[in-house]
Amino acid sequence: MQDEIKLVAAFLALNAGVIAIAIAGYTKGGMNIGAVLQHLSQ
């Protein structure tokens, strides 16, 4: 059970890191994150 919890935690941390890097790249490139999220939610 402990191994599964560690695996899930590592997976979620990795996903959070990838999302943070993507958002940082978008903002550095001058893209508006609000507009991107609004487009994705439509």
Q: How far is CA 34 from the centre of its chain?
A: 14
Please compute the mean of the pLDDT values over residues 21-41 and round it to a whole number: 82
- Residue 12: the pLDDT is 97
Strand, helix or coil at 30?
A: coil
Assess whether pLDDT exceeds 90 at residue 4. yes
Amino acid at 37: L
Assess whether pLDDT exceeds 80 at residue 33. no
DSSP-derived letter for residue 1 is -
Assess whether pLDDT exceeds 80 at residue 31. no
Tell me the CB-side half-sphere exposure of residue 18, using CA atoms within 13 A.
6
Q: What pLDDT digit, counting tens, does each position of 7-27 carry?
A: 999 999 999 999 999 888 888
pTM of this prediction? 0.62
Mean pLDDT of the chain: 88
